[in-house]
């Protein structure tokens, strides 16, 4: 079984000039996922996750202990977020992207997920153009079967 058998062909793309707010929109909707930063010819040049966006808001020097000393935490975070708004995908993206090719074995993809702690990996062609993505869940669904065929009470509204 290779990657092409279960990869998704709908992906979130963004251009390098895409700003912070635009990236946030792209990642947050419809479901949390990665935004792939591509050139006009769809060559993959970087990737942005929610974690990367959060890193832009949270200064590198901050740690949990230091954070506790600040009384106006919300105000501090708002100021940081305001600064982050002016950054664009080119500044935020992770440039060293680990990607898969459609002919790679699922076992190889699964091993990379386990080793590197990723949830999603882009799938590119020989010219490094993005053609899809694959997630841990995609592999599990492919191996175990579609969970939606079973009747589980998975989602609960806890507000009531």
Partner 1 sequence: MYWFATGIFIVAYALIISEKIHKTKVALFGAAVTLIGKILDQQEAFHDIDLGVDWNVIFLLISMMVMINIMTKTGVFQYVAIKCAKIAKGEPFRIMALFAVITALGSAFLDNVTTVLLLAPVTLLIAEQLEINPIPYLITEALASNIGGTATLIGDPPNIMIASKAGLNFMDFIVHLTPAIIIIFLFWMLAWKIVFGKRLTVRDELKRRIMTMNEREQIRDPALLKKSLLILGLTILGFMLHGFFHYEPATVALMGAMTLFMLSDEEPAEILAEVEWPTIFFFIGLFIIIGGIVKVGLVEDLSRAMIAVTHPQPDDMTVLAMVMLWFSAICSAIVDNIPFVATMNPILIDLSNQVFGSAATTAAQARTIDPVWWALSLGACLGGNGSPIGASANVIVIGLSEKAGHNISFGQFLKYGLPTMFLTIVLSMLYIYLRYYVLQWF
- Binding residues vs partner 1 (CB under 8 A): 59-63, 65-66, 68-72, 76, 79
What's the CA gap between 97 and 37, in Å, rounded? 10
Beta carbon nearer to partner 1, 82 or 127:
82
Beta carbon nearer to partner 1, 56 or 138:
56
What's the CA gap between 68 and 47, in Å, rounded? 32
Beta carbon nearer to partner 1, 59 or 145:
59
Name the minimum Å distance from CB 80 to partner 1. 8
Name the minimum Å distance from CB 67 to partner 1. 9
What's the CA gap between 12 and 49, in Å, rounded? 11
What's the CA gap between 77 and 5, in Å, rounded? 43
Beta carbon nearer to partner 1, 68 or 95:
68
Give the pair of three-digit tokens for residue 98: 């680990």
Name the minimum Å distance from CB 125 to partner 1. 35
Q: Which residue has the tokens 């946030």?
A: 24
């Amino acid at each position: 079984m290779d990657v092409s058998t279960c990869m998704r062909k709908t992906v979130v793309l963004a251009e390098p000039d895409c700003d912070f707010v635009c990236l946030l929109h792209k990642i947050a909707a419809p479901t949390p996922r990665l935004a792939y930063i591509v050139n006009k010819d769809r060559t993959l040049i970087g990737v942005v996750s929610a974690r990367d966006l959060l890193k832009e808001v949270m200064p590198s020097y901050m740690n949990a202990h230091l954070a506790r000393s600040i009384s106006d935490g919300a105000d501090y975070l708002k100021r940081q977020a305001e600064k982050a708004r002016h950054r664009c995908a080119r500044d935020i993206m992770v440039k060293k992207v680990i990607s898969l090719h459609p002919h790679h074995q699922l076992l190889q993809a699964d091993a990379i997920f386990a080793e590197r702690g990723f949830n999603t990996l882009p799938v590119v062609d020989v010219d490094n153009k993005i053609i899809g993505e694959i997630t841990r869940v995609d592999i599990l669904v492919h191996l175990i079967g579609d969970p939606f065929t079973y009747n589980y009470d998975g989602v609960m509204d806890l507000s009531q």
